[in-house]
């Protein structure tokens, strides 16, 4: 299965007010980017930690109304912050506001200090992965059944009614992860695997794990889109030839989705979108 290449903007909401985030998302929409992303944290991930940081899913509801075509989502939702049924209700609401443009980014959560700060339970790594695995099963059931029953170690559903269903049903699942058990879950459930790495061999070992599990369960691993993110200075620290060479090397590894953290200057991103992306799309078509 050959996937068309996609480009996206990551505009994490820490250190940003609503007006700036909306401006970036509307720019991504106007530029014809395929995706735009926030994150799912209560506080900034960099200093100063007491700077503004809006909540992710309510923010996405506003951004859904402020945009028309770009797909939107979080990179990625921590499963520990919300009951899975309530989370899916939040996500489905945004999906309806956006007329089916939600990308459901989900993961096992990692920021222990944030959990402690706000009183969220932060189970050990294995339990958080198990919670995610149960939640993924619940998401599938709630989107497909009239009434859902589920009995797990962490979650229970009893004749659960879930209406309305998402506009795009099921919503595409974007799962981030790099450790063996998470890679197995990605192989089973994900429509898109998000992964960052510094060494191609490191990525290839992870991809081999996904491919192996897909083979075991009879799934074509090519069904799963592959995304990675470049930092906010990538477009300013490199010249045009270096940018293209780096992206080509990632494409050769199998990347289908290229995401870019918003640089300080919007004109830098605009120039990249207008002058570089069209040539890359033509090369990779």
Please write the tens of the pLDDT for every residue from 234-256. 999 999 999 999 999 999 999 99
**Quick check: 170 pLDDT over 90?**
yes
Position 1 in a domain: no
CA atoms of 139 and 165, how far apart (whole Å): 11
Position 166 in a domain: no
CA atoms of 71 and 124, how far apart (whole Å): 33
Pair 206, 195: CB distance under 8 Å: yes
Which whole number is the average pLDDT over 264-276? Answer: 97
Residue 25 buriedness (CB in 10 A; 0-12 / 13-18 / 19+): buried
CATH of the domain at 199: 3.20.20.30
Which whole number is the average pLDDT over 127-134? Answer: 98
Give me the percent of the chain exceeding a pLDDT of 90.
Answer: 98
Position 243 in a domain: yes
Please write the tens of the pLDDT for every residue from 177-234. 999 999 999 999 999 999 999 999 999 999 999 999 999 999 999 999 999 999 999 9
CA atoms of 277 and 12, how far apart (whole Å): 22
**End-to-end CA separation in angstroms for the chain:** 14
Residue 46 buriedness (CB in 10 A; 0-12 / 13-18 / 19+): exposed
Position 52 in a domain: yes
Position 50 in a domain: yes
Residue 1's pLDDT is 61
| Structure-block tokens of residue 79 | 């499963």
Residue 2's pLDDT is 76
Residue 47 buriedness (CB in 10 A; 0-12 / 13-18 / 19+): exposed
Position 161 in a domain: no
Domain holding 184, by residue range, is 6-121+171-283
Mean pLDDT score of the chain? 97
Which whole number is the average pLDDT over 22-28? Answer: 98
Of 1-10, 167-176, 272-281, give the lowest mean pLDDT range. 1-10
Position 145 in a domain: no
Please list the residues that pair with 71 across neighbouring strands.
35
Domain total of the chain = 1
Position 141 in a domain: no
């Amino acid at each position: 299965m050959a996937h068309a290449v996609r480009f996206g903007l990551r505009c994490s909401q820490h250190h940003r007010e609503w007006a700036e985030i909306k401006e970036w998302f509307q720019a991504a929409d106007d530029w014809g980017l395929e995706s735009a992303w926030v994150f799912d944290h209560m506080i900034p991930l960099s200093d100063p930690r007491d700077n503004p940081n809006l909540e992710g899913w309510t923010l996405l509801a506003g951004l859904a109304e402020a945009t028309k075509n770009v797909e939107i989502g979080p990179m990625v939702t921590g499963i520990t912050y919300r009951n899975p049924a309530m989370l899916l209700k939040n996500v489905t609401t945004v999906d309806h506001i956006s007329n089916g443009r939600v990308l459901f980014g989900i993961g096992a959560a990692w920021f222990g200090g944030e959990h402690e700060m706000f009183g969220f339970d932060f189970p050990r790594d294995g339990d958080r992965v198990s919670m995610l695995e149960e939640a993924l099963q619940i998401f599938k059931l709630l989107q497909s059944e009239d009434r859902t029953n589920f009995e797990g170690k962490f979650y229970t559903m009893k004749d659960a009614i879930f209406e309305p269903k998402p506009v795009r049903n099921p919503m595409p699942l974007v799962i981030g992860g790099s450790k063996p058990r998470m890679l197995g879950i990605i192989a089973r459930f994900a429509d898109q695997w998000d992964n960052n790495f510094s060494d191609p061999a490191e990525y290839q070992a992870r991809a081999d794990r996904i491919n192996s599990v897909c083979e075991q369960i009879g799934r074509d691993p090519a069904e799963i889109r592959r995304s990675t993110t470049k930092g906010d200075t990538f477009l300013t620290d490199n010249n045009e030839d270096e940018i293209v060479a780096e992206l080509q090397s990632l494409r050769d590894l199998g990347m289908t989705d290229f995401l870019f953290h918003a640089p300080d200057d919007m004109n830098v991103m605009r120039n990249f979108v207008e002058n570089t992306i069209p040539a890359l799309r033509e090369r990779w078509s």
